Structure 1
């Protein structure tokens, strides 16, 4: 009985029309079937290796245009342009206006913004006369105490308050229990730089004071003030000693006796100022006051050098406070001229307006200026010699 040819494992699709296989002899049927299976497996592997490409469907052309079997890119652009023009002609004016409003409008200001360089100022609370009243004021890096008072007066915050003296800004140092008046030319940012960052208890207070006239810019002395006397000095915490204190050469010097043999520098007024004590503490004399640094505590290796507590009688204490504050104003005037000189506007070349070039000097009457030194004669050889004779 002859062998029948094996069927292929590949299922033909419905659209494929394969011609009927020719009948082969029985002795060649097995060899023919093996050859066909091998060719089908090879064609299937080649089909899997080939990358499959998917072409995007071409959108149909609008109605009313005659399509051709083949069209190039130029004709396609022409047809597309004519289709858009025909579509735009069919739209009404109302639809065009609505589409125009839907589009986002780009202004020139958003494309090319003009940024003004302004000084960065932070809003801070400034208390007035007591902690019950405050006012928010912007304080920048160059805002002085006088600027703060001028802003508050302009806004009418300081009207109707009772008191004696003029308005002053006071630094309230709650972490140490003391306060001091801030001069009108001092910058508030420098005062805040000395505060401890982890203790946000310090603040500025506006109140009237009779000491405002002493610390004004017009009353700064032309020479450094001096003063001396016995005071009580807290050498250690709770230990007070009687010492001779002398104010001279922009510094405070302390010694055991008034002869000044063992005199040592207690502090320099370049970075120290006088403070009133507001927190009650034990002291041998009725009027305690302190001399504290205006720098941050982190600048000191020994924290005992950061602040010095003193005490004396009330009469002598008021004199000491005034002398130290006046000496501090003198030091600021001598060492920090930037606080007193107005800002010089710079020109385009970066030079100040005070710099100028002197004009060129011109000769009067066209005369040539005579030299200051007598020049030798042009003939350097002795008259009558062979070298002095002119050449042929």
Structure 2
């Protein structure tokens, strides 16, 4: 099997399993308990937070552990907007891009339905990019929050986050970015990016599903979604998932270092290592995978008549190549490829049970009928050139087969 659906999830890294295993077995204490088991868990949680903070170039107190990217997005959008409205009731608008993940879009719609907010949609161009001019056009004195994802999960387009965040900051508006897909491929330096909040998720990085984190800058107020014992500095009550926090920290530190097996996480009682310290630049594997992605795109466009690349041709994630194949059904192409041992996707894995055209592709101005022919190929860092050559050949065969069957059916 060739797995090309890494944007949906990734296999768990061995070093992540090894790092979290003790906290699923012998070191099972509650970090809020005042005994030796609890103290060991609390130290592990503190060290995990330090590693995540180092990867994001922020203070440990600015990191809130969550159950994943969806919860982090919900806490950012709802929590920041509601906290600002509580101080100034006139702040009753949120601005989100037209191609946000449903976790952001639906959080904004929740504010609209139940808290009287207006949702301003920031348009994108034909490549899926938000320009500073487009953002400026929707911001108002009543805007409580702006949210634009760092890189899109369906088409891979990367946004000019530094420019967008700077524009929002000039107007005194907090800026959040969903960096779930960017993590592991793009710099996550929150100071350099200038964002006020950033969401990440572990299972896109080689950690198990069910863990993530939200960065919130400094003294920015956040209204919690979950109330209780006041864990996570009051931002997210509930007994912390220590093993999940360790897994996220290990995965983040692993992808941020040149040594692919370095975890950057230390067991309780040990001194922190140099691994994972300091905000990472673009990981070393990103350039290699970008080259393989570009060659794969060229092979598909040259070998499949009518194939349409979606997303920006250059400003895109190293790990994503997405196409529309007019005259086919995207789902039919997927089935043909799976018969050949190739696993990929027709779009977002988070649009559960939906067979409607992708809202992301519609926002790009793609015709609904064409949008339903979409196929996304997303890689992890282990992908090889030979595998992508094999996949390109399989795609040519699959598309031709589906087109032939479609033509026969119409006849």
Instruction: Give the TM-score taking structure 1 as reference length.
Output: 0.20
Instruction: Give the TM-score taking structure 2 as reference length.
Output: 0.20
Q: Which structure is higher in helix share? A: 2
Q: Which structure is higher in strand share? A: 1
- Name the larger-Rg structure: 1
